[in-house]
Amino acid sequence: MDGATTVRLESTVLRLAADITKAAYRDAMRRHGLLPSTISLIGMYAEENLAALDEESSDVPAGARVHVFNGCPECGGPVDQ
């Protein structure tokens, strides 16, 4: 698998994970009794936050993004092995 394919695959997996997480949180908010309009508003805020993070990460070299995902001492995460 070439580098571009790997990046696309990782991006797809992350987006699917985000969709699953989003659905779980929306269901939890619904079960807790939040109004549908409140759930939609919170979901919109979360989408805006994710879009902003995605925009910021597009300026970071791919190798650096992988390093942050794997953790680094400066970020408080475990050291890459």
Choice between 2 and 63, residue whose per-residue pLDDT is larger: 2
Q: Please report the pLDDT score of residue 77 as a whole number.
A: 47
Nearest to 46 by CA among 59, 69, 28, 60: 28
Cα dihedral sign for 44, 36, 39, 12? negative
DSSP track, 49-62: HHHHHHHHHTTS-H
pTM (2 d.p.): 0.58
* Domain ranges (residues) in the chain: 3-75
Q: Please report the pLDDT score of residue 7 as a whole number.
A: 86
Cα–Cα–Cα angle for 80, 6, 13, nearest 5°? 85
Each residue of 29-66: pLDDT tens digit?
999 999 999 999 999 998 899 889 888 877 766 555 55
Cα(72)–Cα(60) distance, integer angstroms: 15
